[in-house]
Amino acid sequence: MTPPTLSNFLLIGLFLWLPATHGWSQSATFSLTTNQGSTLEIFSQLDPLAINSIHSWELVLYTADGAPLHGAQMSVVGGMPDHDHGLPTSPVVTGEIAPGRYLLEGVRFHMPGRWLLTFDITIAQGRESATLELQL
Amino acid sequence: MTAVLGLLAWRLLPDPLPAEWTPAQRALIQSLSLSRLPATPVDPSNAVAESELAAQLGHRLYFDQRLSGNGEVACANCHQPQNYFTDDRTLAVGTQTGFRHTPSLVGLAYSPWYYWDGRKDSQWAQALAPIEAGHEHNLDRLQVVRLIAEDPHYKSQYEALFKPLPALPAAPRAASPTGDELLRRNWESLGTDLQLDINRVFANIGKTLAAYQRKIKPGRSRFDDYADSLTESSAVIPGTLLSKDELAGLALFIDEAQCISCHNGPLLTNFEFHNTGVLAIAGQLPPMGRYDGIRLARQDEFNCLGQYSDAEPGQCTELRFAKDDNELVGAHKTPTLRNITETAPYMHGGQITDLEAVMEHYNEAPTSMLSHNEAKPLALRSVQLKQLEAFVTTLTAPLQTEQKWLKPPDG
């Protein structure tokens, strides 16, 4: 049996990648920089993201040096600016599941289109915020 | 004269169809196909949701008019299988004329919320309320439990599914915490333990009705075949599946008319709550809609977090993270557009009689009587409104549900 070549690997990779990027849903991992230079990484447990399904996100917060930021109070508000309305649910950060890793529960989107979510973060050093824009 | 003819032509002559759908349009169209409908969501609050025996008991109860104060009202009186589980009335009629238009039950197992204002968070909790509503079945929970206990067929079916029925006192015959003063006084006289037992049986009855109603699913329509055909080609060609007007209506539906904002996914609904400026129901004040509905759902003893639910609290995500703000004033649940041609009249109070008037309503987007209308005026031309109407006719099809569930049980 011939060992798989690099081009075979690339082809397989392309096929695996295509369904996730095709159509009306999108990748479920985001990386944001807060207005104070910290990093907020977002991992949706619904992957790819899609409308009409309630789910949780993991939010990973760390400093510019890569140190986890634990003990943060986090909240999120969001909506569709083009439709002048908010999220259909009230997602809540319900706990810090590991240092700097937080669980956001109750996320659901109910319309295709452009969504904006603003994360408000309070840590010992002060307040920070970051905004996520996504297209569903 | 030329100006008049020009205006008429502008209003009435259709635009040419695009040569092909863009990748984004194609993805949107395919997202509406029943082929994309996932398996029926589990209901962790209902341990018998998937039980065939529970569905059989629920089926029998669904058609049983003894489940009413006057012996004439069953669930099937208003949610009629032959009418896609709605009726053709403006307002529902039980023992009296009610306050809302009968919503269809087709595909409702996919909804996280029930009632036009979302006052119930499960199909089983929903099923209980009409039984005790004075204008609907006008019965009480103690008499419901008596019906199960005194009918040998019901009793054996029930006890095959759940714990044995509690022993009931000879008197009072009727009791409920939600009825009139006599019913409430009788309820108090029962004592806490028996109240809990009766509530548990009553909740279980709802769970069997839900197990039955979970089987009510839409069937594939011409539209679904068309949407699925787009895997082979993106060309917009009128044919045997969709006509020129229907295709033009579909293009408007997903784009300029923005119907897809709320009527999305394979059931053509997001099961969310929106204020679309529909006039108040004649003789009634404009309702607060979901603003009140979420408060009622939270207070409901039969909700997902309550003691009669089979769910762990962590599984009640919709209830725990439900929104509660002023955006919900006057908002009502988006209905499915599947079979919409067969379920007139429309809206939560049946205020709009036909699809032509529905399209005109959304084209105009009138000011809401309460809070604000989320929809914006569309400024579509007459011909475009007709095309939208043509498109929604492609969503009608016989139900996918087995015939035996669409009629009263034998025997």
Question: Following DSSP, what letter does each residue of B368-410 receive, concatenated?
Answer: PSSS--SS------HHHHHHHHHHHGGG----SS-GGGGSPPP
The whole-angstrom separation of Cα B337 and Cα B395 is: 7
B271-309 residue pLDDT tens = 999 999 999 999 999 999 999 999 999 999 999 999 999
Please choose, from the candidates B380, B371, B332, the residue with its C-alpha nearest in 3D space to the C-alpha of residue B115.
B332
CB pair distance less than 8 Å for A106 and B317: yes
Chain B residues touching residue A84 (CB < 8 angstroms)? 374
**Nearest-angstrom CA–CA distance, B341 and B289:** 25
Contacts of A23 in chain B (CB under 8 A): 27, 30-31
| Tokens representing residue B240 in the block | 């045997």
Q: Is the Cβ pair A23, B318 closer than 8 Å?
A: no
**Partner residue opposite A89 with nearest CB, options B28, B264, B323:** B323
Q: Report residue A8's pLDDT band, with 50, 70 and 90 as the boundaries.
A: low
pLDDT value for B342: 98
CA distance B239 to chain A (A): 25
Identify which has the larger pLDDT, B232 or A43.
A43
- Render pLDDT for A13-72 as a digit per residue (tens, 0 to 9): 444 333 333 334 457 899 999 999 999 999 999 999 999 999 999 999 999 999 999 999
Query: Which tens digits make up the pLDDT trace of A101-132?
Result: 999 999 999 999 999 999 999 999 899 999 99
Q: Across chain B, what does the average pLDDT equal?
A: 96
Asked if B321 lies within 8 A of A106 by C-beta distance, the reply is yes
The ipTM, to two decimals, is 0.91
Percent helix / strand / coil, chain B, rounded to 5 = 45, 5, 50
CA–CA separation, B71 and B166 (whole Å): 24
Interface of B with A (CB under 8 A): 24, 27-28, 30-31, 112, 260-262, 264-265, 270-273, 317-318, 320-325, 327, 374
Look at B260 and A88 and tell me if their CB atoms are within 8 Å: no
Average pLDDT, stretch B77-92? 97
Report d(CA B177, CA B53) in Å as an integer. 29
The shortest C-alpha distance from A3 to chain B (Å) reads: 33
User: Could you report the per-residue pLDDT of B103-149, keeping only the tens digit for each?
Assistant: 999 999 999 999 999 999 999 999 999 999 999 999 999 999 999 99
- Count of A-B CB contacts under 8 Å: 62
Contact assignment for A87 to B264 by CB distance below 8 Å: no
Cβ–Cβ below 8 Å for A89 and B327? no
Predicted confidence band of residue B9 (pLDDT cuts 50, 70, 90): confident
Q: Which of B261, B273, B321 sits opposite A111 (nearest CB)?
A: B261
Average pLDDT over residues B56-75: 98
The yes-or-no verdict on residue A4 having pLDDT over 60 is: no
Query: Are B31 and A24 within 8 A, CB to CB?
Result: yes
Contact A54 B318 (CB under 8 A): yes
Tell me: pLDDT of A80 over 70.
yes
pLDDT at B11: 74
Q: Which of B262, B265, B321 sits opposite A90 (nearest CB)?
A: B321
Asked if B38 and B103 count as a contact pair (C-beta separation under 8 A), the reply is: no
On the question of a cis peptide bond just before residue A48, with omega within 30 degrees of 0, the verdict is: yes
Which of A45, A49, A89, A94 is the best residue to mutate to test the B interface, defined by the most B CB atoms within 10 Å of its own CB? A89
Question: What pLDDT was estimated at residue B233?
Answer: 86
- Give the nearest partner residue to A106 out of B24, B320, B327, using CB atoms: B320
Identify the residue among A84, A103, A111 best suited for mutation to test binding to B, counting B beta carbons within 10 A and taking the highest: A111
CA A61 to CA A34: how far, in whole Å?
A: 10
Residues of B in contact with A111 (CB under 8 A): 261-262, 264, 270
Across the interface, whether the CB atoms of B27 and A24 are under 8 A apart is answered yes
Distance from CA of B253 to the nearest CA of A (A): 13
CA distance linking residue B103 with residue A54, whole number of Å: 24
A90–B30: do the CB atoms touch at under 8 Å?
no
What is the second-level CATH architecture of the domain A24-135?
Sandwich (2.60)
Closest CA to B306 of B163, B202, B404, B154: B202
- Mutation target vs A (from B33, B40, B321, B323; most A CBs, 10 A cutoff): B321
Which residue type occupies B21? W
Name chain B contacts of A87, Cβ cutoff 8 Å.
323
pTM equals 0.92
Distance separating alpha carbons of residues B313 and B302, to the nearest angstrom? 13
| Domains observed in chain B | 15-40+219-289+329-395 (1.10.760.10), 52-216 (1.10.760.10)
Three-class SS of residue B143?
Answer: helix
SS (H, E, C) A30-97: EEEECCCCCEEEEEECCCCECCCCCEEEEEEEECCCCCECCCCEEEEEEEECCCCEECCECCEEEEEE
Compare CB distances from B374 to A85, A91, A92 and report the shortest one's residue.
A85
CA distance B228 to B237: 14
* Of B216, B236, B215, the residue nearest B226 (C-alpha): B236
Among B260, B268, B323, B253, which Cα is nearest to B291's? B323
**Distance of CA B1 to CAs A66, B111, B205, B382, Å?**
74, 54, 69, 20
